[in-house]
Amino acid sequence: MTAFLVSWWGSFALAASLLQTAKPTNTVEADATSLAAGKKLFGSNCASCHGETAQGDGKAGATLNPKPANLADDTWAHGSTDGEIFVVIRDGIKDTGMKAFGSRMTAHQMWDVVNYLRSIGSGTPGAPR
For residues 39 and 72, the answer to whether their CB atoms sit within 8 Å is no
Write the CB contacts of 83 (distance below 8 Å, at least 6 apart in sequence). 23, 24, 25, 26
Cα–Cα distances in angstroms (integers) from residue 129 to residues 7, 47, 50, 125, in the given order: 37, 18, 14, 7
pTM value is 0.79
Average pLDDT, the chain: 84
Domain ranges within the chain, ordered by starting residue: 2-120
101 band by pLDDT with thresholds 50, 70 and 90: very high
pLDDT of 81 strictly over 80: yes
In the chain, the amino acid numbered 20 is Q
Q: 21-70: per-residue pLDDT in tens? A: 678 999 999 999 999 999 999 999 999 999 999 999 999 999 999 999 99
Nearest to 126 by CA among 74, 73, 79: 74
For residues 121 and 73, the answer to whether their CB atoms sit within 8 Å is yes
pLDDT of 128 strictly over 60: no
Q: Which CATH topology does 2-120 take?
A: Cytochrome Bc1 Complex; Chain D, domain 2 (1.10.760)
